[in-house]
Structure 1
């Protein structure tokens, strides 16, 4: 999915304030467009493009990956 940052943050804040904790609970409040694999093919290594950092260890790994690209 692709979405704009600020509207998404506002919708996530509202969902959390309402006690909704599902990752998709805010989707009906923002414009979301699914992007298929064929559209992503030109982006290169998708493991880098969509790397997810949820822990301090994953953040450290992401920072190392970014430094290697610079």
Structure 2
């Protein structure tokens, strides 16, 4: 039995492949990483601003 390779000329197959790729790569790895990075940067910026304003000298979060 010989398995055929992917038919890149078929637009339906190409769209299915690219859609799966986008969900797996972008949806499962890139987007969560960007969200975590953005949240971390935002928290650091807020803590730096609070410490410059003379609020919390340690920069610890409010309990």
Larger Rg belongs to: 2
Bigger helix fraction: 2
TM-score by length of 2: 0.26
* Higher RCO (CA-CA < 8 Å; seq separation 6+): 1
